[in-house]
Amino acid sequence: MTSPSLLFARMRETAPLVQCITNYVAMNVAANVLLAAGASPAMVHAEEEAGEFAAIAGALTVNIGTLSPAWVAGMKAAVAGATAAGRPWVFDPVAHFATAFRRQAAAELLALRPTIIRGNASEVIALGGGTSAGKGVDSGDPIEQAEDAARQLALAKGAVVAVTGAVDFVTDGARAVRIPGGSPLMPKITAMGCSLTALVGAYAAIAPDQPFEAATAALVTFAVAGESAARDASGPGSLAVRFLDALHGLTAADLEAGGRVLAA
């Protein structure tokens, strides 16, 4: 398995261009997270250009947080462009279970075969057809309860599934790992998960043929930077600032020393 620290070093060397279609809440946060990590974000979603742009980006990420019909059209155009160009794409099904419009959009996007799916426990349980306690964008379920759903979803969709929470879980249906770390304050900052999805895209651009390793590396990066930032944060506000600084200051050696990937 290519280690997170090696992929991180490659990201710093190559600054991959990542096309992020994400929500209004996350756009600024996610772009700053990618820049701090060493990638190059571009928030490009219009139907007229999203597919064309996908061919020049190293990877695409699609997050349905603040959907409208025009955005769905842009997402589908982008996925078509990425697929035609052989680029990986990452799907973040924010609160997909909440309304009929979201359910429909999520089902249509899922049918377009994402390379990696990244969601919180409630989103992954519901995507697997189970009943989740989620009501909106925040998870209402413990992560352990999403592990089986994640495995099944990975097998059914031929995708790598990354579920986040107190201890993250990544599976391709056959292999699985758990990644501890981070901080309980992280879910108190909006768009942390959406930004993580964007970072999964950055690693997928680095290792397009190793989506399991790419997703794992992104979760490890967040776990190490989040843990370090939380050490002297006094609340979500200072954590948000310190998290960006921690990401920016992160080295491959820090990931090597602090990253924990446990067999599951």
Ligand X SMILES: Nc1ncnc2c1ncn2[C@@H]1O[C@H](COP(=O)(O)OP(=O)(O)OP(=O)(O)O)[C@@H](O)[C@H]1O
Residue with tokens 């304050």: 185
User: Binding residue for ligand TZE (CB under 6 A) from 7, 9, 31, 137?
Assistant: 137
- State the minimum distance, in angstroms, from the CB of residue 137 to Mg ion: 6
> Treating both helix axes as pointing N-terminal to C-terminal, what angle do 69-84 and 100-110 enclose, rounded to 10 degrees?
10
Out of ligand TZE, ligand X, Mg ion, none, which partner does residue 187 contact, by CB within 5 to 8 A per kind?
ligand X
Contact 117, 153 (CB under 8 A): yes
User: Binding residue for Mg ion (CB under 5 A) from 51, 58, 81, 193?
Assistant: 193
Out of ligand TZE, ligand X, Mg ion, none, which partner does residue 182 contact, by CB within 5 to 8 A per kind?
ligand X
For 150-164, b/e burial (b = at least 16 CB within 10 A) is bbbbbeebebbbbbb
Binding-site string for ligand X from residue 180 to residue 219, where x marks contact by CB under 6 A and - marks none: --xxx-xx--xxxxx-x-----------------------
115 binds ligand X (CB under 6 A): no
Within 10 angstroms of residue 107's Cβ, the number of other Cβ atoms is 12
Contact 217, 210 (CB under 8 A): no
194 binds ligand TZE (CB under 6 A): yes
Q: Which residue's CB atom is positioned nearest to ligand TZE?
A: 65
201 binds Mg ion (CB under 5 A): no
88 binds Mg ion (CB under 5 A): no
Count interface residues toward Mg ion (CB under 5 A).
2
Q: How far apart are CA 251 and CA 46, in angstroms?
A: 35
Beta bridge partners of 18: 41, 59
User: Binding residue for ligand TZE (CB under 6 A) from 2, 3, 40, 66?
Assistant: 66
Residues that bind ligand X (CB under 6 A): 94, 120, 137-139, 164-166, 168, 182-184, 186-187, 190-194, 196, 222, 226
